[in-house]
Amino acid sequence: MLLRDGAGSSNGGGGGGGGGEWLRPMDAEQLRECGHRMVDFVADYYKSIEAFPVLSQVQPGYLKELLPDSAPRQPDTLDSLFDDIRQKIIPGVTHWQSPNYFAYYPSNSSTAGFLGEMLSAAFNIVGFNWITSPAATELEVIVLDWFAKMLKLPSQFLSTALGGGVIQGTASEAVLVALLAARDRALRKHGKESLEKLVVYVSDQTHSAVQKACQIAGIFPENIRVIIADCNRNYAVAPEAVSEDLSRDLASGLIPVFICGTVGTTSSSAVDPLPELGQIAKAHDMWFHIDAAYAGSACICPEYRHHLNGVEEADSFNMNAHKWFLTNFDCSLLWVKDRSFLIQSLSTNPEFLKNKASQANSVVDFKDWQIPLGRRFRSLKLWMVLRLYGVENLQSYIRKHIHLAEHFEHLLSSDSRFEVKENENQYVFGTI
Ligand code: PLP
pLDDT tens-digit readout, 234-283: 899 999 999 999 999 999 999 999 999 999 999 889 999 999 999 999 99
**What type of residue sits at position 122?**
A
Atom of ligand 1 nearest to the CA of 264: 3
Look at residue 355 in the predicted model and tell me its pLDDT: 61
Which residue, judged by its Cα, is nearest atom 12 of ligand 1?
A: 171
Predicted confidence band at 363 (pLDDT cuts at 50, 70, 90)?
Answer: confident
**Ligand 1, residues at Cβ distance < 6 Å:** 170-172, 207, 209, 262, 265-266, 291, 293-294, 320, 332
With 50 as the cut, is the pLDDT of residue 200 above it?
yes
Look at residue 184 in the predicted model and tell me its pLDDT: 97
Average pLDDT over residues 4-19: 45
- The alpha carbon of 209 and the centre of ligand 1 are apart by a number of angstroms equal to 7
Q: How many CB atoms lie within 10 A of CB 412?
A: 15
- DSSP letters, 28-94, are HHHHHHHHHHHHHHHHHHHHHGGGS-SS--PPTTHHHHHS-SS--SS---HHHHHHHIIIIIGGG--
Look at residue 11 in the predicted model and tell me its pLDDT: 40
- The alpha carbon of 202 and the centre of ligand 1 are apart by a number of angstroms equal to 14
Predicted confidence band at 362 (pLDDT cuts at 50, 70, 90)?
Answer: confident
With 90 as the cut, is the pLDDT of residue 67 above it?
yes
- 335-356: per-residue pLDDT in tens? 999 999 999 999 998 666 666 5
- The alpha carbon of 311 and the centre of ligand 1 are apart by a number of angstroms equal to 19
- The alpha carbon of 271 and the centre of ligand 1 are apart by a number of angstroms equal to 15
- The alpha carbon of 175 and the centre of ligand 1 are apart by a number of angstroms equal to 10
Look at residue 104 in the predicted model and tell me its pLDDT: 85
Atom of ligand 1 nearest to the CA of 174: 16
- The alpha carbon of 82 and the centre of ligand 1 are apart by a number of angstroms equal to 33
Please give the angle made by the CA atoms of 241, 245 and 248, to the nearest 5 degrees: 140
Which residue, judged by its Cα, is nearest atom 8 of ligand 1?
A: 266
**Mutate-to-test residue for ligand 1 from 108, 235, 266, highest number of ligand atoms within 8 A of CB:** 266
| Average pLDDT for the chain | 91
Alpha-carbon distances, residue 184 vs 24, 132, 145, 178, 375 (angstroms): 48, 28, 26, 10, 24
CA distance 347 to 58: 45
Tell me which of 357 and 76 has the higher pLDDT. Answer: 76
Tell me which of 9 and 398 has the higher pLDDT. Answer: 398
Look at residue 9 in the predicted model and tell me its pLDDT: 40
**Mutate-to-test residue for ligand 1 from 291, 317, 325, highest number of ligand atoms within 8 A of CB:** 291
CA distance 323 to 143: 17
With 60 as the cut, is the pLDDT of residue 319 above it?
yes
Average pLDDT over residues 321-334: 96
User: Does the N-terminal peptide bond of residue 330 adopt cis geometry, omega within 30 degrees of 0?
Assistant: yes
Average pLDDT over residues 313-319: 98
Average pLDDT over residues 92-111: 90
Atom of ligand 1 nearest to the CA of 172: 16
Q: Lowest-pLDDT range, 20-29, 193-202, 324-333, 401-410?
A: 20-29
Look at residue 417 in the predicted model and tell me its pLDDT: 87
Atom of ligand 1 nearest to the CA of 173: 16
Look at residue 423 in the predicted model and tell me its pLDDT: 55
Average pLDDT over residues 405-419: 89
Look at residue 16 in the predicted model and tell me its pLDDT: 43
With 50 as the cut, is the pLDDT of residue 10 above it?
no
Q: Lowest-pLDDT range, 103-112, 236-245, 313-322?
A: 103-112
Contacts of 119 (CB under 8 A, 6+ apart): 377, 380, 384
With 80 as the cut, is the pLDDT of residue 79 above it?
yes
Look at residue 3 in the predicted model and tell me its pLDDT: 61
DSSP H or E segment with residue 249: helix 239-251
Atom of ligand 1 nearest to the CA of 320: 15
CA distance 103 to 68: 33
